[in-house]
Amino acid sequence: MKKIRKLPLSDLIFALISFSAAFVVLTLIFSTIIVLYNESSLAIHKFGILNFIFTVDWDPVNEVFGAAASLYGTLVTTVLSLILAIPLALGIAIFLTEISPHILKTPIGIAIEMLAAIPSIIYGMWGLFTLAPIMAEYVEPMLQKTLGQVPVIGILFQGDPQGIDLFTASVILAIMIVPFITSIARDSLNLTPNIMKESAYALGATKWEVVKDIMIPYAKLGIYGGIVLALGRALGETMAVAFVLGNNHQITTSLFDAAATITVTLANEFTEADTDIYLSSLFYLALILFVLSFVILAVAKFFLLKAERGYSR
């Protein structure tokens, strides 16, 4: 494209206005990290970085704060929800690209994406009033009877199932992130050139072999991107988790215990923080969450861009 050399005044003005809008957007993004750092500087100076991350205590009375419990909760819910969501989401994506009758593809695709449109507060409420009782009544005791008896992983299923715990939170998160993985995986799978699929069929491959050996390797980068994007989403989810996690600052081995994530801690305690160091520590948590999700989302974006470039070649 050629640059237009002489700009009329109206152009100059409009270019200037739209440039300042773009500049404001950039400034907003950068000022987020600066402001968060500035607000948390008190806690950063008092607790340091590694010390803060590895301290389990969260004691507003004695003004000792550490992120370990919140980080642990965030980590466990995110990883568990990914473990639950990935197979389901990939299965749906394969169904939508290869199995579903043509006429059903769009309605089912939209229906799955509707899961992403439901506000997280609805998930939270539904989780608290409907899913948690079901979990406590049926699913968790059942898991205890089966997986709980297995020697090593049995530790994960100890305790008295209440429904308000890490496991329920992860299940809700998994439902929430399925549409993100599904829609990106479906789009990537759809981009597999027909000629490659046809060649494989001509060699006598079954449909599953085509999916497994041709389409998934081809769509690999896109699928990774979708998964990492979902990871970033799960990390920052607040309301859905806030209802069913119980805001309990402890590190537990059992999935059937109440816990806290960074987001839940922020949501529950931000308005209650009465001392400067308390508030500053909360900002510190927000900063950690921001940096963490920013990096993860950047990685996701990297995969997706790379995938895009690969497909267009």
Please say which residue, 4 or 202, places its beta carbon nearer to other proteins. 4
- Regarding 137 and contact with other proteins (CB under 8 A), the answer is no
Judged by CB under 8 A, the number of residues near other proteins is 94
Reference 196, options 178, 177, 219, 170; nearest CA is 219
- Regarding 169 and contact with other proteins (CB under 8 A), the answer is no
Binding window for other proteins (CB under 8 A); candidates: 119-127, 142-150, 193-201, 252-260:
119-127
For 118, which DSSP code?
S
Distances (CA, A) of 246 to 120, 124, 211, 241, 263: 17, 12, 42, 9, 12
Encoded amino acid at 68, one letter: A
Smallest distance, other proteins to C-beta of residue 256, A: 21
Options 71, 80, 112, 185; binder of other proteins; rule CB under 8 A? 112
Show contacts with other proteins in window 33-52 (CB under 8 A).
Answer: 35-36, 38-39
- Regarding 123 and contact with other proteins (CB under 8 A), the answer is yes
Show contacts with other proteins in window 249-288 (CB under 8 A).
Answer: 263, 266-267, 270-271, 282-283, 286
Whole-angstrom Cα Rg for the chain? 24
Which two tokens mark 74? 């965030």
Q: Are 127 and 193 in contact (CB under 8 A)?
A: no
Largest pairwise CA distance in the chain? 77
Options 162, 251, 294, 306; binder of other proteins; rule CB under 8 A? 294
CA distance 313 to 309: 6
Please say which residue, 149 or 209, places its beta carbon nearer to other proteins. 209
Sign of the torsion angle spanned by Cα atoms 269, 274, 278, 279: positive
**Helix H or strand E segment including 14:** helix 9-47
Phi and psi at 62, nearest 5°, equal -90, 5
Binding window for other proteins (CB under 8 A); candidates: 12-20, 53-61, 62-70, 194-202:
12-20
Smallest distance, other proteins to C-beta of residue 115, A: 5
Binding window for other proteins (CB under 8 A); candidates: 50-58, 123-131, 162-170, 187-195:
123-131
- Regarding 71 and contact with other proteins (CB under 8 A), the answer is no
- Regarding 128 and contact with other proteins (CB under 8 A), the answer is yes
